[in-house]
Amino acid sequence: MRSKSNLLLILGAFFILGFGALVLFLPKGEGATVKRGEKLYMEQCMNCHGKDGKGLGKLIPGLHHAELLQKERLICAIRYGKSGPLEVDGQVYNGQMPPNFALDDGEIRDIVNYVYAQFAEAPKSLDLPEVQDQLRNCAQANPRLQW
């Protein structure tokens, strides 16, 4: 009997320690959105912009350019894509970025926060209402959804 209760005690201790570790190390707040954004970036953006965000020659712009990281441009481009000439730091890019209508508002926030954390000179984090405000503005500014 005694060994059985010891065993229960040990199992219980493991359970509490394990659960505690899970709570402690689960990503929270800003860390969580960036972490989710990293996964989405690798699935949705990395093919073209590269794992390191450097883009591809003069074909695809890198994501370290401050003017591309303005939230108005970044958020709308992720949802609605981008076509036609785009001048960045004196270089004209003329590729096409496809729209991503399958991403919900929260996923766009996560990608934006990852991009800011990873590539922006002054990292910042946006919350969901800020992103949703901006998304409404893109549709108003460009009803044909060609951004």
Partner 1 sequence: MKMIPFFGLVLLFLWSCGNPSTNAEKELKHLPFMGEPMLIQNDQGGVDTLWPALPAFTLASQTGDSITQLDLAGKIRVADFFFTSCPTICPMMSAQMLRIHERFGSNDQVVLISHSIDPEHDSVSVLADYAEKLGASAPGWFFLTGDMDLIFSLADAYGSFAEKDPNAPGGFAHSGALTLADRQGRIRGVYDGTNPEEVDRLILDMERLLAEAPDYGPEAVPVGLDYAQ
Name the site residues for partner 1 (rule: CB under 8 A): 46-48, 50, 56-60, 96, 98
Cβ-based nearer residue to partner 1, 56 or 120: 56
Which of residues 35 and 50 has its CB atom nearest to partner 1 in the complex? 50
**Nearest to partner 1 of 93, 114 (CB atom):** 93
- Closest approach of partner 1 to the CB of residue 93, in Å: 8
Closest to 101 measured CA to CA, from 138, 140, 48? 138
SS (H, E, C) 64-120: CCCCCCCHHHHHHHHHHCECCCEEECCEEECCCECCCCCCCHHHHHHHHHHHHHHHC
Least separation in angstroms between CB 74 and partner 1: 19
